[in-house]
Amino acid sequence: MANHLRIELEKLKTNLLSLSSEVERALNKAVLSVRNSDTELAKEVLAADHVIDQHEVEVEEQCLAILALHQPVAKDLRFVIAVLKINNDLERIGDLAVNISERTIFLKKQPPIEIPFDFVNMSQKAVTMLKKSLDAFINMDLRLAHKVWESDDEIDEMNRQVYDKVYSTIKSHPNQVEALIHYLSISRHLERIGDYATNICEDVIYMAEGKIVRHTPEGA
């Protein structure tokens, strides 16, 4: 029985990693679609979202089957619950990649304007946070999980600065309001991806230490 459980947990991990690759791919494409005003790429993200949705349902059903059939305890139980939560968050990151891609499609219909913030820097930050949070999960790397968790402040601050920049740009160019608010949404979506990566790190910490760190001050 214990061996069967081991095999099932290994399969579950592989399945979650395959979902995370799909989500990372969607996010990379969404970011690139903004950079290059590439609506074809944006449409690819929209078209592939149902694969991520379906995959999330499968991982959840796999978790429930393991709980029902193998009744894991202690560390194994915490692992399954962490996978349930990470799975949920990955699907929501997939939705944000869709939202970003929809902005690309909308923006293409507007007169082009300069992106009102350092998009390359901020999007790289979000992509890196997601990648590192998943690496922390794969390698059960607690040091990395804590590091990503503590770095969430940086992307929050970037997003705050985008608000200020958008306010002042709208005042001088009120006719650009639609495009500017869409770029503001993109910044907000990137910031929320940072939040989800932070959640994933919290789940990794919980899984490894059995300690719930969320709702405690970052870096405390």
Interatomic CA distance for residues 137 and 12, integer angstroms: 13
Indicate the SS3 state at residue 31.
Answer: helix
- Count of positions on this chain that bind a copy of itself (CB under 8 A): 33
Give the range of 5-13, 70-78, 126-134, 136-144 binding a copy of itself by CB under 8 A.
70-78
Give the position of tokens 């870096």: 219
Shortest distance, position 25 Cβ to a copy of itself, whole Å: 19
Q: Which residues 130-189 are close enough to bind a copy of itself by CB under 8 A? A: 163, 166-167, 170-171, 174-175, 177-178, 181, 184
User: If we measure between CA atoms, which residue out of 182, 155, 168 comes closest to residue 34?
Assistant: 182
Q: For residue 101, how many other CB atoms are within 10 A of its CB?
A: 28
Structure tokens at 127: 């992509």
Shortest distance, position 95 Cβ to a copy of itself, whole Å: 10
Number of C-alpha atoms within 13 angstroms, CB side, residue 6?
3
Binding map of a copy of itself across residues 94-133, x = CB under 8 A, - = no contact: ----------------------------------------
Q: Cβ neighbours of residue 77 under 8 Å, at least 6 residues apart?
A: 67
68 touches a copy of itself by CB under 8 A: yes
Per DSSP, the chain holds a count of helices (H) and strands (E) of 7, 0
Contact pick of 21, 37, 54, 139 for a copy of itself (by CB under 8 A): 54
Contact pick of 1, 50, 112, 143 for a copy of itself (by CB under 8 A): 50
Name the CA dihedral angle for 126, 130, 135, 141, rounded to a multiple of 10 degrees: 80
**Pick 7 or 64: Cβ nearer a copy of itself:** 64
Residues that bind a copy of itself (CB under 8 A): 50, 53-54, 56-57, 60-61, 64, 67-68, 71, 73-74, 77-78, 81, 84-85, 88, 163, 166-167, 170-171, 174-175, 177-178, 181, 184, 212, 214-215
